[in-house]
Structure 1
Amino acid sequence: MKESLTHRQLTSLIQISDILNSSLNINLIIDSIMKETVSVIEAADAGVLFLYNSEKNLLIAQSTLGYETYRLMDVRLIPGQAMAGAAFLERKSLLFSSQEQVKEAYKTLSNQTVQLFNQSVPLYPYSAVCIPIMSKGQCLGIINLGSFQEKVRFTTSDISLLIAISHQAAVAIEKARIFEEKEHIVDNLEILNAKITQQNQVFSRSIELHNYFANLAIEGEGLSSILDYISKIMGYECLLFNNIGDLILGRSSNKEKEPLLANITKELSSHLTFENIKNSVKELKIKEINYKTFTLPIGSKQNWLGRLVVCSENTISEVDIAALEHACTVISLEMMKEQAIYETQQRLKGEFIDVLFSGKMDDSLLQKAKNLKLDQNGNYIVAIIDINGNSLIQKRRYVLQIINRVLKQDNINGLTVTKNNQIIILFSFERKSTLPYSKLKVSQSIDYFMKELSLKRWEINISIGVGRLKSQLENVYKSAQEASKCLRFIERHNLSTNILNYSDLGVHRLLLQNSEEELEDFIYETIGPLLKYDRVKKSNLLNTLSYYLETGQRNAETAKLLHLHINTLHYRLKRIEDILSINFSDTEQFLNLQLALRMYHYLQGKLRVSGKSMTTELEGREIY
């Protein structure tokens, strides 16, 4: 193998060297090595160039000539396997002079790899040669050539040329790899430089916007100016919601898109609760146009204030997201400032209400009332709301927000304040307002408030007591006392309703003036025998009496409602008179009977009959 190269071989080697040095593309060099090597070695009919992958410890086919490439390129050899694996392991050129030697080398292959070889070429080579590509003592790969001519064999001269070619190939591969690594480094540097440039832009833009938003806050421009900037300058539709999902402010990038805000609010309303969330992206389809909404939280878990929602047809850039996050920080500070002002106002209002409800009027209180825009000679109604449920302190604040929104929408003047587990509403009306008008406005506001509250699905129980209309501020404490009595009445008597107006109680106010024991004694003395008779005889005379009173003692109408013959009704009424020892024509007895039935309606289920619990009911009907 130490024979000198012939003139033709030297010429071929120089040509191959020129070709390999003409490119730094690793794939092109590998293909050139394979092509030129097969072309200058007369015995070679086909060849494969394997490169060693040190991470996987495998020889991997990189280029083929004379084989079915799509099959052979899947070949992976472990060092030591087959002819190429043996040459790699021994770090020297190997010559396989016969087909038998080739077949023997193939025995070290897996069945799957043998199949790949067989599918690439139907015959085993009659002879083969494997030349390692060496560089600095390391084997970069193997050049594997095969001859399919029975009488043609590789010579020592061929091996000498192949060794020389492998040296040229090693240099070319090393150069290409170094170039590839440098290119990769350059590409990475360019990517890194682009990221740094982008981050600098984001940072610069963020500082610019942060300073701008901070200046807005310092100058007292408020939330409106911040949202104006987001919409007009940044070009987004933006909405600011509080912590219970109510819209505080909305701004559009132009007038044509203003209707879009209402649609976005409607679409998002079911998803916006007072629960804390992280930044989120949601796609909405409005009028056949796809919009992307980006939601950012305002405040912290300890002090959750709301969220900012921006909307765009395009994806929001990282620069703008960073800007919006700065905006949220400033919005948070602005909302916390408003919250602090609000809490101070609540404290001052609470102190005012305490003195007002004590009934002690003085010049100082009148001045505070004037500052609160309360007319000394106006008309007032007090409503008190009892709240019970989970997360009471947090939800009490949310309930108060809903009340304030309802009052604002109904254009009702007044004052709201939280006290312990209660919310107090002082409805204020002009002196010329009538009693029916005032009662209607209060009733409508409470109904609207209850509907709004039901949509929130919070686990809280609400009871509302409403006092009567009082003229002049000095008499407001009386309305407050009446509202408190209504709440006690609801709690004491387990009413089916959770809203009670003192003016609707009528004669039932007597229930507020007496103990339950006294009321039970009166009921038992008046209709007790009839209740006992119904229970023992399993009759229903109390029901007959109830219908009789409901119809205003009209016999024909009562008989029709009870599906009775008129004579049967007469018999029942006479039996009731006998059991109770009364006469319906006696005005005083009849009044007592009506009062007892009304009280029984409110207290049923809690009465005593001979020391036992009484469960007789009036079939759920109201008694006149």
Structure 2
Amino acid sequence: MTIRTRNQKQPDNRHFVAATLHNWCSRFALTHLSLWERVGDRKHCIWAFPQQDYIAKLPKAADCVSVADHFLLVFDTEKTAVFRDYLQQCRTFLPVCFEAALALEKRSVEEKLWLGLSGEVLNDVDDSFYTKLLDTLITGLPGAEAGLLLLNNERTSKLVIESGIGFDHEYYQRIQLSSDESLAGTAFSKQELLVYNTKTALQQAMASLSPKNRDYLIQAAQWKRMPSTALAFPIINNQQSFGVVVLFGFSDGSCFSPEIVDTLQNVLNYISLLYGRYKNQREAKKTKRELDITYRALRTEHSQLRKTLDLYNILTALSRNNKGINEIMSAMYSTAHTPIVYYDELLFPIASCGTSEQHVLPDHFLKTREARYSVRVKKWQLLKLTEDELLLIIPVVGAERVIGFLCAWINKNTFNDSDRTLLEYSASFLGLESMKRQAVEQTKRQLFGDIFDQVLSNTFNENMLQQAKNLDLNEKDLYTVLICEYTHAATPGIQEQFASEACMKWLEQALKEVTIKGLVAHRRGAIVAFLSFPSDAEKRTIDSKLTRFSTRINQFPGAIKVGIGRLEEGFIRINQSYNDARQCIRLLKKKKSGKVYRFSSGGIDHLLMNHDPDELKLFVEDHLGLLLEYDARKHKELLKTLLVYLEHNRNLQKTTEALMIHHNTLYYRINQIEAILSVKLSHSEDWMNLAMACRIYQFLQG
């Protein structure tokens, strides 16, 4: 038969012949004994004694004795003549003995092959089927040291290697053979078992192998060279070739004997049946897997539809019973079980569920790519917060524009698309409810604006007084008027046509934060508001709230000017408060700094605002004219020194520190000022006149 494969031991059914040869070695002092078999024009060793690695070639110094037509004994001994005589005596039974041993081995190979194919390979339906099939063939067939299993790729019409033993996967996965390329392509196309036991025949069979595939094959082989022998047979199912198996021998004496070919021929049909069975089972598993996926998808869809229907019924009932946004958010949270917050377009939280202090929007949220895209296309987006946490942004749309954002903090590992769909669906209810709320607010603003116009025009009637009561305007409460002037740039990130609405919402939110009751509307090119306080409220409490409100206004993210008039009793007497607020706006514009000005904290500026500007200029000229003329002529800064001196209430140290001059320099300048103006700063009357003149000068200069 053939040489031992994968360094495995000879089969047990050779023991009789092996024992006989062992006996000869001892009996005739043989230093070398081997039994060779002729297959065609080649010889290959069957047994070798003493046990040692396979001897590829016949020892040149050894003697040879032919036993029958295709057996050759090779030995080396000092008792050559004696051993030859003994072999001559045994010439009649030795061929029969060897033939019987080979027949037993052939049977053993067949049994081993059938057991392998009928055992682990038969029961295997996973992805290792091809590897186990190939391993069973290489293990069971003497002469096979490595092998490849190739399958036909129907898309490319190429043979690609599915599994390999004795080859590096990194290289053999690059090999793609055409249907007539090399011995594999020939066996595949002709549907024949092909055997090549000589290097010449093998080279001719592999001559059609492309240079690239040849290089890949050599690099993939663990022997780093072309094989010596090869055997290829197709895998056929329903008379169609699906693949091909190629077994290789790389040792010089390797050979696939006729007995091996006959053995393999007997199992080819069974291998094809195994492949067909495996393919059918794979298709069955794939179909089952697809059915399972479909079943799970249908169950998920059914669950989703049920949850959607339940939520729809809940939201519809809430809407029918005039429930608000908070109830809608609670229903959404009970379904999605994830923290959610509903923000308006100014990012003020309207309602929330399941949130904590950590659930806040990232900085510059409206400038993020996801938020801008969400506003532009009115579709949901995901904003990455951490490795596992995402922010789901769902725009709330009303009247074909984004009026807010429904934001959910989700874990990417647990949150699913069905929950997102539910939230996205619920956002439409939020939009409807928000539009309803806005319609009510718009009506209230319109009514308030009408009342405001009638109060300013001193037009009172029963209808107006009734509407005022509907707006909860109590005639005995204390009121102050707020006027807010804004520009479109005052509300960054908001469309220009909604700038007024955005400013009003911001002011309303600020009033809620400091617990001041107020009505806001847009009138006469500006935003106006009534701020009301109970008639029995302490002035200290009112002042504290207005101070906190002013502080909040200074935090507005844009350029606005807000004037707040004085308190008046009853809303029908707020004309003066309105005029005060307008005057505060003018003072803000004159000062060119600050965002809010309260009339009650304005001081002397209000007197100056109501005075004739020409008289104010004359007063400044009378008391500071000579000093102004001197500074202009001499390029001095005596007026600046006087202003700083007055600002620090004649404190010498603070004045010198502010001007960064020496005390003597300050004394010298004060003496100059007194000399030029003919005054004494130590006299109270002179000091008062100069202080008033300086204040008026600063007022006129803005």
TM bracket, shorter-chain basis:
0.7 to 0.9
Q: What does residue 552 of structure 2 align with?
A: 448
Q: Does 1:495 align with 2:595?
A: no
Name the CA shift for 1:588/1:262 in 2 (closer, same or farther; >3 Å).
same
Q: Does 1:602 align with 2:684?
A: no
Letter in 2 for 1:280: L
Contact 1:378 1:428 in 2 (8 A): yes
**Whole-angstrom distance in 2 between the partners of 1:33 and 1:545:** 106
1:350 to 449, 456, 461: 449
Q: What does residue 113 of structure 1 align with?
A: 216
Q: How far apart are 1:383 and its partner, in Å?
A: 2.1
**Whole-angstrom distance in 2 between the partners of 1:374 and 1:565:** 62
Q: What does residue 423 of structure 1 align with?
A: 527
SS in 1 for 2:459: coil
Q: How far apart are 1:347 and its partner, in Å?
A: 0.6
**Whole-angstrom distance in 1 between the partners of 2:636 and 2:532:** 52
Q: What does residue 609 of structure 1 align with?
A: none
Q: What does residue 3 of structure 1 align with?
A: none
1:84-119 CA distances to partner (integer Å, 9 max, x unpaired)?
344445554444342233345456454533434652
Q: Does 1:227 align with 2:324?
A: no
1:3-46 CA distances to partner (integer Å, 9 max, x unpaired)?
xxx9989x959995994995583867656765676688676666
SS in 2 for 1:25: coil
Q: What does residue 151 of structure 2 align with?
A: 51
Contact 2:307 2:335 in 1 (8 A): no
* TM-score, normalised with respect to structure 1: 0.75
**Whole-angstrom distance in 1 between the partners of 2:425 and 2:515:** 36
Name the CA shift for 1:585/1:449 in 2 (closer, same or farther; >3 Å).
closer
Q: What does residue 75 of structure 2 align with?
A: none
Contact 1:239 1:250 in 2 (8 A): yes
Q: What does residue 374 of structure 1 align with?
A: 473
2:464 to 362, 365, 369: 365
Q: Does 1:181 align with 2:278?
A: no
Q: How far apart are 1:313 and its partner, in Å?
A: 11
**Whole-angstrom distance in 1 between the partners of 2:654 and 2:257:** 130
Q: What does residue 327 of structure 1 align with?
A: 426
Q: What does residue 209 of structure 1 align with?
A: 311
Name the CA shift for 1:217/1:137 in 2 (closer, same or farther; >3 Å).
same
Q: Which shifted more, 234-243 or 357-366?
A: 234-243
**Whole-angstrom distance in 2 between the partners of 1:556 and 1:331:** 64
Name the CA shift for 1:279/1:38 in 2 (closer, same or farther; >3 Å).
closer
1:245 to 331, 347, 351: 347
Q: How far apart are 1:310 and its partner, in Å?
A: 5.8
Name the CA shift for 1:302/1:77 in 2 (closer, same or farther; >3 Å).
closer
Q: Which shifted more, 93-102 or 67-76?
A: 67-76
Contact 2:445 2:519 in 1 (8 A): no
Q: Does 1:99 align with 2:210?
A: no
**Whole-angstrom distance in 2 between the partners of 1:484 and 1:524:** 29
Letter in 2 for 1:359: N
Q: How far apart are 1:540 and its partner, in Å?
A: 2.8
1:571-607 CA distances to partner (integer Å, 9 max, x unpaired)?
42442225xxx898999998765544322202327xx
Letter in 2 for 1:218: R
Superposition pairs of residues 218-297 of structure 1, within 5 angstroms: 218-231=320-333, 235-252=337-354, 261-265=355-359, 267-268=360-361, 270=363, 277=374, 278-280=380-382, 294-297=392-395
1:50-81 CA distances to partner (integer Å, 9 max, x unpaired)?
3333334443445667x468799658352354
Q: What does residue 564 of structure 2 align with?
A: 466
Name the CA shift for 1:157/1:534 in 2 (closer, same or farther; >3 Å).
same
Which segments of 5 or more consecutive residues in structure 1 lack a partner in the other structure? 1-5, 253-260, 606-624
Letter in 2 for 1:387: Y
Q: How far apart are 1:202 and its partner, in Å?
A: 0.7
Higher relative contact order (CA 8 A, sep 6+): 1
Name the CA shift for 1:543/1:12 in 2 (closer, same or farther; >3 Å).
closer
**Whole-angstrom distance in 1 between the partners of 2:535 and 2:689:** 39
Q: Which shifted more, 463-472 or 85-94?
A: 85-94
Percentage of matched positions with identical amino acids:
20
Name the CA shift for 1:185/1:484 in 2 (closer, same or farther; >3 Å).
same
Q: Which shifted more, 331-340 or 229-238?
A: 229-238
Q: What does residue 478 of structure 1 align with?
A: 576
**Whole-angstrom distance in 2 between the partners of 1:113 and 1:469:** 94
Q: Which shifted more, 72-81 or 318-327?
A: 72-81
Name the CA shift for 1:419/1:41 in 2 (closer, same or farther; >3 Å).
same
Which segments of 5 or more consecutive residues in structure 2 lack a partner in the other structure? 1-102, 375-379, 490-494
SS in 1 for 2:515: coil
Contact 2:235 2:275 in 1 (8 A): no
Q: How far apart are 1:530 and its partner, in Å?
A: 2.1
1:489-521 CA distances to partner (integer Å, 9 max, x unpaired)?
433x34334433344455444543467666546
**Whole-angstrom distance in 1 between the partners of 2:650 and 2:233:** 123
Letter in 1 for 2:628: L
**Whole-angstrom distance in 1 between the partners of 2:666 and 2:127:** 112
Q: How far apart are 1:380 and its partner, in Å?
A: 2.5
**Whole-angstrom distance in 2 between the partners of 1:51 and 1:88:** 10
Contact 1:77 1:85 in 2 (8 A): no
Q: What does residue 636 of structure 2 align with?
A: 539
Contact 1:356 1:365 in 2 (8 A): no
Letter in 1 for 2:438: Q
**Whole-angstrom distance in 2 between the partners of 1:98 and 1:441:** 105
Q: What does residue 23 of structure 2 align with?
A: none
**Whole-angstrom distance in 2 between the partners of 1:433 and 1:81:** 101
Contact 2:620 2:694 in 1 (8 A): yes
Q: How far apart are 1:269 and its partner, in Å?
A: 6.9
SS in 1 for 2:438: helix
Q: How far apart are 1:279 and its partner, in Å?
A: 4.2
SS in 1 for 2:357: helix
Superposition pairs of residues 58-137 of structure 1, within 5 angstroms: 58-62=158-162, 67=166, 76=175, 78-79=177-178, 80-88=180-188, 92-105=192-205, 108=209, 110=212, 112-116=215-219, 118-120=221-223, 124-125=227-228, 127-135=229-237
Name the CA shift for 1:352/1:144 in 2 (closer, same or farther; >3 Å).
same
Aligned length: 574
Q: Which shifted more, 275-284 or 477-486?
A: 275-284
Name the CA shift for 1:567/1:366 in 2 (closer, same or farther; >3 Å).
same
Contact 1:284 1:293 in 2 (8 A): no
Q: What does residue 577 of structure 1 align with?
A: 677
Q: How far apart are 1:291 and its partner, in Å?
A: 7.5
Contact 2:396 2:431 in 1 (8 A): yes
Name the CA shift for 1:134/1:238 in 2 (closer, same or farther; >3 Å).
closer
Superposition pairs of residues 19-38 of structure 1, within 5 angstroms: 19=118, 25=125, 30=130, 34=134
1:427-460 CA distances to partner (integer Å, 9 max, x unpaired)?
2234455666644543332223323x2xxxx3x3
**Whole-angstrom distance in 2 between the partners of 1:575 and 1:179:** 116
C-alpha RMSD of the superposition:
4.6
Name the CA shift for 1:248/1:585 in 2 (closer, same or farther; >3 Å).
closer
Name the CA shift for 1:63/1:166 in 2 (closer, same or farther; >3 Å).
farther
Q: What does residue 84 of structure 2 align with?
A: none
**Whole-angstrom distance in 2 between the partners of 1:395 and 1:333:** 22
SS in 1 for 2:586: helix
Q: Which shifted more, 550-559 or 158-167?
A: 550-559
Letter in 2 for 1:264: Q
1:235-280 CA distances to partner (integer Å, 9 max, x unpaired)?
555443333233333445xxxxxxxx44234x44746659664343
Contact 1:435 1:469 in 2 (8 A): no
**Whole-angstrom distance in 2 between the partners of 1:87 and 1:344:** 88
